[in-house]
Amino acid sequence: MIDFPYIKSITRSTKSKIIMVVADGLGGMANSTNPKSELEIANIPTLDKLSSMSSCGVTTPVLPGITPGSGPGHMALFGYNPIKYLLGRGVLEGLGIGANIGSHDVAARGNFCITDANGIITDRRAGRLTTKESKTLVEILNTIEIPGFEIKVHPVMDYRFVLVLKGPNASANITETDPQVTGTSILESEGLTPSSTGTALAVNLFTRNANLLLSSQKGTANSVILRGFSTIPHLPNFAENYKLKPAAIAGYPMYRGVAGLLGMNILECGQTFTEELDMLKKHYSTGDYDYFFVHYKPADTAGEDGDFDGKVKALENFDSYLKEIVDLKPDVLVVCGDHSTPSLIGSHSWHEVPFLIHSENSQGMGDEYGFSELNCKKNGSIGSIQAEQLMLLVLAHANKLNKFGP
C-alpha cells in the first residue's frame, strides 16, 4: 500500500463505482524520424472526448529512467509501492500460468538444459525443445519425491517450467542453481540462513533426480537449472484498505494472479477483450462490486513487436471498445497504463504513461487537446505523479476519502 500510514483511516465506502481500465503498454514515444507517438497518430475519438472532460496526467511507474516489468507496473497502479512490494520472479512466473502458490510456498523459474559428460552446461535452453516435449518432461519431474517437501512442477512454454516447493520449512532464502552462463557446472544451492539449508538440500536432490530421470530419456534435455526462488510477500489487502469490493477482469493469468494476491475477486474469462467486456457488463450492475480492474493487452503486444502501425491499430480498437464501457456510465472511469511500450524501442520502457480520470469532480483539458503522452503531462489538470499515487486520486474523484488530520 502507498507509504501513507493513515490510508485505512480515511477511506470510506460509498455507492459510487469505479472502472479502472489498464491498457498494457499504453504509452509510446516519438523521435526525430517519427515525430508523433502512436497515441498522437491513432484515431481515438472516445479517448479524446473523455480527456477533454477528465482530470489528466502522466504516471511514473517506479522512478524516472526505471523500466518496470509487468509486476511493478501493476502493483504501482493499485497503490502499492512497487519497490517495497516487489514480487519474485518465481512467484510472478507461477502466477502467469495460474499455478497454485500458497502463502508459504517457494516458487522458482526452471529451464530444461543440456550438460555434457562432465556436467558442464552446453545449452541453457535445451535447444529447440517444444512446449509439447517440455510437458512430457514436466510429467517425469513430477514423479520426484523429496522427504519433507511436496514438489509440483508446472510447464510454461518451450524450455521453461515453474517449480513450486511446499513444506513447513520451505524457504526462498537460498542460492540459485542456474549459473546464467554456459561452460560451467550447475551450481549447488546453498541456504543463506540456518533454517533454509533444508530447502537448499531439497533443491539439490531435485536437480540430481531430474538429471538421472532426464538422462535416461535420451531426449534433448538432460538436466534442469533453477532461479528466482521466491515466496509471496505480505501484501496489505486492497479491499480492506480502500474499503472497496474489487473485481479483476483480465484474460491473461499473470494479471489475474497479481490482482488475486491483493485480495481482488477474480472474474474468470477468456483472453480476448470482448470476453472481458462481456464479463464487465454482466457484473457491473449487480452491486457485488464497486471497483473493476479491466486489463487490455494488445497495445503492449504490438509495442513489444516494434510494430508501430500495429500499436496504432491496437489503440484504435481499444478506443472503440471503450465506448461500450462509457455507456455503463461508471461514476469514475480511469484509463491508465502499467508502463509504456514504445514501438520505436520494441520493449517496456521507463517513459511516463498518460492517464485520465473521468468523473463529476474532474477538471478536463478542454477540446483543444487530444489524449496523448505530451498533452496529459503538459495540459492535464494533474500533470506528473507517481503511479503509486494514482489510486489516491481515483478514490478522491470517487468521493471515497475523508479529510486527513484535524
405 interacts with a second copy by CB under 8 A: yes
Closer of 17 and 348 to a second copy (Cβ): 348
Listed ranges 25-33, 113-121, 155-163, 208-216: which one lies at the site for a second copy (CB under 8 A): 25-33
Closer of 364 and 370 to a second copy (Cβ): 364
Closer of 83 and 120 to a second copy (Cβ): 83
Listed ranges 15-23, 189-197, 297-305, 343-351: which one lies at the site for a second copy (CB under 8 A): 343-351
Beta pairing class for 353-358 and 332-336? antiparallel
DSSP state string for 73-102: HHHHHTT--TTTTPPPHHHHHHHHTT----
30 interacts with a second copy by CB under 8 A: yes
* Sign, CA torsion 353/346/312/274: negative
Distance CA 274, CA 29 (A): 27
385 interacts with a second copy by CB under 8 A: yes
Work out which of 27, 228, 251, 337 binds a second copy, going by CB under 8 A.
228
Work out which of 18, 87, 137, 334 binds a second copy, going by CB under 8 A.
87
Size of the site for a second copy (CB under 8 A): 62
Is residue 343 within 8 A of residue 360, CB to CB? The reply is no
Closer of 213 and 385 to a second copy (Cβ): 385
Residue partners of 74: CB distance under 8 A and separation at least 6: 22, 255, 258, 259, 338
CB of 389 to a second copy, least distance (A): 5
235 interacts with a second copy by CB under 8 A: no
265 interacts with a second copy by CB under 8 A: no
16 interacts with a second copy by CB under 8 A: no
Cα-based torsion angle of the residue sequence 288, 79, 324, 382 in order, rounded to the nearest 10 degrees:
130
393 interacts with a second copy by CB under 8 A: yes
83 interacts with a second copy by CB under 8 A: yes
Is residue 207 within 8 A of residue 186, CB to CB? The reply is yes
164 interacts with a second copy by CB under 8 A: no
CB of 132 to a second copy, least distance (A): 25
Cα-based torsion angle of the residue sequence 279, 285, 287, 289 in order, rounded to the nearest 10 degrees:
40
392 interacts with a second copy by CB under 8 A: yes
CB of 348 to a second copy, least distance (A): 6
157 interacts with a second copy by CB under 8 A: no
Work out which of 43, 63, 157, 270 binds a second copy, going by CB under 8 A.
63
Is residue 57 within 8 A of residue 401, CB to CB? The reply is no
Work out which of 25, 27, 82, 337 binds a second copy, going by CB under 8 A.
82
Distance CA 389, CA 406 (A): 22
CB of 66 to a second copy, least distance (A): 5
183 interacts with a second copy by CB under 8 A: no
Q: How far, CA to CA in Å, does 318 sit from each of 40, 234, 273, 295, 356?
A: 14, 34, 9, 11, 15
Is residue 353 within 8 A of residue 28, CB to CB? The reply is no
Residue 373 cell numbers, joined: 503522452
Listed ranges 66-74, 284-292, 312-320, 330-338: which one lies at the site for a second copy (CB under 8 A): 66-74
Closer of 144 and 192 to a second copy (Cβ): 192
Is residue 128 within 8 A of residue 192, CB to CB? The reply is no
Beta strands, E only, 135-202? 150-155, 160-166
Residue 119 cell numbers, joined: 556436467
In the shown chain, the binding pattern of residues 345 to 374 toward a second copy, with x for contact by CB under 8 A and - for none, equals: x-xx-x---------xxxxx---------x
Residue 138 cell numbers, joined: 514436466
Work out which of 66, 235, 239, 266 binds a second copy, going by CB under 8 A.
66
Name residue 165's beta-bridge partners.
Answer: 106, 151
Secondary structure of residue 103 in the 3-state scheme: coil
Binding site for a second copy (CB under 8 A): 2, 4-6, 10, 29-32, 53, 62-72, 82-83, 86-89, 92-93, 228, 345, 347-348, 350, 360-364, 374, 377-379, 381-385, 389, 391-397, 401-406
